């Protein structure tokens, strides 16, 4: 972890290039409860963004609105220069937007490899209009699984996996869709120190392959090791956005976490 | 095994069955066989939506009845075309009507498939028990509609007089039996093909986790609509020859609760995740029901279905296929 934490932050936050993801004035209510209140967020391609906030601050709602699991009520979501609000989740996936779920949601009746086959068939295949043969599919499944060191479990049921393996499968399924943007929603909750290190290292490796990543996390050492930029959400509002070291010293952020 | 080879094997088994029945030479076997095969088609139809996609349809009787009443509708037109068409059309219509039974089966499938599409659009945003209630309500609405439509007999029912004999097959029941046999072969081959295709994988993701399916690029609504259309069409095709089998149809018999209950019970007893389950469940349960009908009373049929269903839900929730997998896995482990 230390060498990761020691990595210099080399990026700049200039907005010259058109952002991969642009969220403007995003709003979402659940009855009388305002989950998201006019959130603006612009993510350039290739960035590693950490999204933090106390429980109930709207992080998962934001992910759900970006990925299409929920539809936003006000504001807009654009991805790759195209408005995607109102677009169903599966089409957003085909555009290159992948997400993992906070609680792993494997396809229980399938094997680990078959879980990976789904996005290969329905996202990658549909995107390029290609028909992969079954041996090609098998190779690709194993290739993706080897990224998360699950290749030996390919034939197992997801229900036989450990907690960390299940979370790796969740990430692998999102990665298999060959996304431009990957949103990892609390991929590390409940994991040990070394398991957290594994996943952070994996996410950084993916980022080095050109995938933009938004990571939502409570484990601060993981957030600090991973993020080039940190955004803090409190009560559905963005209260801080910037370089991680600056953001964690921000008195609003400290106040929100410590209640002062 | 490739689908064409699999279909050929099924056809060979079907041909052997037909020949064996002919050699035995008892027409009752064809009556019995027709009902059993009809349930193979019905159970397979239910399983496409209920087993593969996990959407429990309680309105199966409604779809079956659409097939039944589509046949009655076209049969009645054929009986008295002068009531339906203007005079100048009577001559060309005499060429078309009466429609042959295979055409009526296709038409029953088309209508039930279309109703399935409509039902899908209206109800597929509902999940679990709410979807089940909506399908039940659809069957009630359809029955009310048929009861009040006098052209197809309304509540008093409608008669269909089958021809005494058919060329090649001999008696009409043999002809009906062969048609249902072919329909059963077609539905099993289709179910197996779906199961192993990209479509079947998509269906399974819907059953397992719809949110995760969408996030993986599966167009869940479109796939669910495909499932309701396929399932509805198969139900309709199973129902279309029924008026010729029974001779007299009234709404109570076409919309009978036993179709809805059996359509659910047979795949549940056999196992819902593969094409074999509904077939095995239908063969066992409907053969048992036929034996009971002859030896005790048809009134006991639903009791048997109910008891078996309760037993399986408690003891073998994955059906006979699930039990089989469990046993083979244990044997290979030990």
pLDDT band at residue A9, thresholds of 50, 70 and 90? very low
Q: pLDDT tens, position by position, for chain B (334 residues)?
A: 788 999 999 999 999 999 999 999 888 999 999 999 999 999 999 999 999 999 999 999 999 999 999 999 999 999 888 888 888 888 888 888 889 999 999 999 999 999 999 999 888 888 778 998 999 999 999 999 999 999 999 999 999 998 888 888 888 999 999 999 999 999 999 999 999 899 999 999 999 999 999 999 999 999 999 999 999 999 999 999 999 999 999 999 999 988 999 999 999 999 998 999 999 999 999 999 988 888 988 888 888 888 999 999 898 888 999 999 889 988 887 7
Interface of A with B in 35-74 (CB under 8 A): 67-69
Select from B134, B43, B107 the least CA-distant residue to B237: B107
On the question of a cis peptide bond just before residue B70, with omega within 30 degrees of 0, the verdict is no
| Pairwise CA distance, residues A101 & A104, whole Å | 6
CB proximity list for B116: less than 8 A, separation 6 or greater: B63, B228, B229, B230, B231, B232, B233
A224 vs A132, residue with greater confidence? A224
A138 touches B: beta carbon within 8 Å:
no
> Closest-CA residue in chain B for A94?
B217
CA torsion, ordered B5, B7, B13, B18, to nearest 10 deg: -140
A105 touches B: beta carbon within 8 Å:
yes
Distance from CA of B213 to the nearest CA of A (A): 8
Are the CB atoms for A6 and A31 separated by under 8 Å? no
Find where tokens 């907005």 sit.
Answer: A15
Are the CB atoms for A101 and A107 separated by under 8 Å? no
Q: What is the number of other CB atoms lying within 10 angstroms of the CB of residue B212?
A: 25
Collect all residues of chain A within an 8 Å Cβ-Cβ radius of residue B219. Answer: 88, 90-91, 122
Do A88 and B215 count as a contact with CB atoms less than 8 A apart? Answer: no
Find where tokens 């029901």 sit.
Answer: B289
The DSSP code for B85 is S
Are the CB atoms for B208 and B35 separated by under 8 Å? no
pLDDT of residue B95: 86
Q: Which residues pair with B249 in a beta bridge?
A: B158
A187 touches B: beta carbon within 8 Å:
no
The DSSP code for A32 is T
Do B208 and A110 count as a contact with CB atoms less than 8 A apart? Answer: yes
Find where tokens 């969408």 sit.
Answer: B214
pLDDT reading at A10 higher than 60: no
Do B214 and A101 count as a contact with CB atoms less than 8 A apart? Answer: no
Q: What is the number of other CB atoms lying within 10 angstroms of the CB of residue A117?
A: 25
Collect all residues of chain B within an 8 Å Cβ-Cβ radius of residue A120. Answer: none
| Pairwise CA distance, residues A133 & A140, whole Å | 11
Distance from CA of B216 to the nearest CA of A (A): 5
Do A122 and B198 count as a contact with CB atoms less than 8 A apart? Answer: yes
Are the CB atoms for B184 and B178 separated by under 8 Å? no
Pick from B207, B211, B220: CB nearest A105: B211
Collect all residues of chain B within an 8 Å Cβ-Cβ radius of residue A107. Answer: 204-205, 208-209, 212-213
Give SS3 for B315.
helix
A122 touches B: beta carbon within 8 Å:
yes
| Pairwise CA distance, residues B250 & B157, whole Å | 4
- State the best of B204, B212, B213, B321 to mutate against chain A, taking most chain A CBs within 10 Å: B212
Which helix or strand (DSSP H or E) is residue B134 part of?
helix B128-147
Do A122 and B221 count as a contact with CB atoms less than 8 A apart? Answer: no
Domain A2-107+179-258: give its CATH code.
Answer: 3.40.50.300
| Pairwise CA distance, residues B147 & A71, whole Å | 43
pLDDT band at residue A5, thresholds of 50, 70 and 90? very low
- State the best of A118, A120, A180 to mutate against chain B, taking most chain B CBs within 10 Å: A118
Collect all residues of chain B within an 8 Å Cβ-Cβ radius of residue A108. Answer: 208-209
| Pairwise CA distance, residues B53 & B127, whole Å | 11
Do B209 and A121 count as a contact with CB atoms less than 8 A apart? Answer: no
Residues from B contacting A (CB-CB < 8 Å) are 198, 201-202, 204-205, 207-209, 211-221, 273
pLDDT of residue A7: 44
> Closest-CA residue in chain A for B214?
A90
| Pairwise CA distance, residues B202 & B211, whole Å | 12
pLDDT of residue A68: 94
Lowest mean pLDDT, pick from A19-23, A70-74, B163-167:
B163-167
Q: What would the two tokens of residue B164 be?
A: 């005494």
A87 touches B: beta carbon within 8 Å:
no
| Pairwise CA distance, residues A229 & B328, whole Å | 53
pLDDT of residue A106: 96
| Pairwise CA distance, residues B215 & A194, whole Å | 28
pLDDT of residue A260: 58
A107 touches B: beta carbon within 8 Å:
yes
pLDDT band at residue A191, thresholds of 50, 70 and 90? confident
Are the CB atoms for A59 and A232 separated by under 8 Å? no
| Pairwise CA distance, residues B93 & B231, whole Å | 31
Do A90 and B214 count as a contact with CB atoms less than 8 A apart? Answer: yes
Are the CB atoms for B321 and B268 separated by under 8 Å? no
Question: Quick one: A239 exposed, middle or buried, by C-beta within 10 A (0-12, 13-18, 19+)?
Answer: middle
pLDDT of residue A8: 43
| Pairwise CA distance, residues B152 & A145, whole Å | 59
Which helix or strand (DSSP H or E) is residue A83 part of?
strand A82-83
Q: What would the two tokens of residue A95 be?
A: 């555009």
Distance from CA of A8 to the nearest CA of B (A): 34
Q: What is the DSSP string of B131-188?
A: HHHHHHHHHHHHHHHHHT-GGGTGGG-EE----SEETTTEEHHHHHHHHHHHHHHHHH
> Closest-CA residue in chain A for B273?
A109
Do A88 and B207 count as a contact with CB atoms less than 8 A apart? Answer: no
pLDDT of residue B87: 86
| Pairwise CA distance, residues B41 & B37, whole Å | 6
Q: What is the number of other CB atoms lying within 10 angstroms of the CB of residue B330?
A: 9
Please count the residues of chain A. Answer: 260
Q: What would the two tokens of residue B252 be?
A: 């109570």
pLDDT of residue A2: 35
Are the CB atoms for B290 and B32 separated by under 8 Å? yes
Every domain of chain A and the residues it spans? 2-107+179-258
User: For the segment A228-259, what is each residue's pLDDT rounded down to a tens digit?
Assistant: 999 999 999 999 999 999 998 888 888 888 77
| Pairwise CA distance, residues B329 & B334, whole Å | 9
Do A122 and B218 count as a contact with CB atoms less than 8 A apart? Answer: yes
Q: What is the DSSP string of B68-93?
A: HHHHHHHHHHHH-HHHHS-HHHHHHH
pLDDT reading at A1 higher than 70: no
Give SS3 for A70.
coil
Are the CB atoms for B52 and B61 separated by under 8 Å? no
Select from B214, B245, B228 the least CA-distant residue to B112: B228
Collect all residues of chain B within an 8 Å Cβ-Cβ radius of residue A94. Answer: 217
Domains of chain B, start order: 3-333 (1.10.3470)
pLDDT of residue A17: 65
3-state helix, strand, coil in chain A (%, to 5): 40, 25, 35
């Amino acid at each position: 972890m230390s060498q990761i934490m020691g990595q210099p932050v080399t990026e700049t936050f200039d907005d010259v290039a058109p952002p991969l993801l642009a969220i403007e004035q995003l709003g979402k209510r659940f009855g009388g409860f305002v989950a998201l209140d006019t959130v603006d967020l612009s993510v350039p391609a290739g960035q590693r963004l950490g999204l933090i906030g106390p429980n109930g601050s709207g992080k998962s709602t934001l992910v759900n609105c970006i990925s299409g699991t929920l539809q936003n009520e006000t504001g807009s979501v654009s991805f790759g220069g195209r408005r995607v609000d109102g677009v169903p989740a599966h089409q957003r996936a085909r555009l290159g937007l992948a997400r993992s779920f906070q609680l792993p949601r494997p396809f229980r009746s399938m094997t680990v490899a078959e879980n990976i086959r789904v996005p290969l068939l329905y996202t990658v295949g549909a995107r390029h209009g290609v028909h992969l043969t079954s041996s090609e599919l098998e190779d690709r499944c194993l290739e993706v699984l080897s990224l998360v060191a699950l290749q030996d479990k390919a034939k197992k049921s997801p229900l036989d996996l450990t907690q960390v393996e299940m979370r790796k499968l969740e990430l692998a399924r999102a990665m298999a869709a060959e996304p431009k943007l990957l949103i990892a929603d609390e991929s590390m909750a409940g994991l040990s120190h070394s398991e957290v290190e594994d996943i952070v290292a994996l996410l950084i490796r993916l980022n080095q392959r050109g995938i933009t990543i938004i990571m939502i996390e409570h484990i601060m050492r993981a957030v600090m090791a991973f993020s080039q930029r940190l955004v803090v959400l409190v009560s559905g509002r963005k209260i801080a956005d910037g370089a991680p070291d600056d953001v964690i010293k921000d008195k609003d952020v400290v106040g929100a976490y410590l209640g002062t | 095994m490739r689908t064409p080879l699999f279909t050929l094997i099924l056809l060979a088994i079907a041909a052997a069955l037909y020949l064996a029945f002919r050699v035995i030479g008892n027409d009752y076997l064809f009556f019995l066989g027709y009902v059993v095969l009809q349930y193979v088609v019905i159970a397979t139809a239910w399983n496409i939506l209920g087993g593969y996609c996990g959407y429990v349809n309680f309105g199966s009787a409604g779809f079956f009845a659409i097939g039944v009443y589509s046949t009655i509708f076209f049969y009645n037109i054929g009986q008295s075309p002068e009531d339906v068409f203007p005079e100048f059309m009577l001559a060309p219509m005499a060429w078309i009507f009466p429609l042959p039974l295979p055409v009526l089966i296709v038409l029953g499938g088309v209508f039930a498939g279309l109703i399935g599409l409509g039902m899908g659009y209206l109800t597929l945003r509902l999940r679990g028990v709410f979807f089940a209630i909506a399908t039940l309500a659809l069957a009630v609405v359809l029955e009310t509609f048929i009861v009040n439509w006098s052209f197809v007999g309304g509540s008093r029912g409608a008669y269909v007089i089958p021809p005494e004999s058919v060329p090649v097959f001999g008696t009409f029941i043999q002809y009906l039996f062969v048609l249902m046999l072919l329909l059963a072969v077609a539905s099993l081959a289709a179910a197996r093909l779906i199961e192993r295709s990209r479509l079947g994988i998509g269906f399974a993701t819907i059953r397992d986790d719809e949110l995760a399916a969408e996030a993986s690029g599966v167009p869940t609504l479109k796939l669910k609509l495909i499932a309701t259309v396929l399932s509805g069409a198969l139900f309709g095709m199973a129902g279309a020859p029924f008026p010729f089998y029974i001779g007299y149809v009234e709404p109570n018999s076409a919309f009978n609760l036993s179709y809805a209950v059996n359509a659910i019970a047979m795949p549940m007893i056999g196992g819902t995740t593969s094409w074999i389950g509904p077939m095995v469940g239908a063969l066992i349960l409907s053969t048992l029901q036929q034996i009971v009908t002859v030896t005790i009373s048809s009134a006991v049929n639903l009791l048997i279905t109910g008891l078996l269903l309760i037993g399986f839900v408690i003891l073998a929730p994955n059906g006979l296929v699930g039990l089989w997998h469990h046993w083979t896995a244990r044997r290979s482990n030990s």
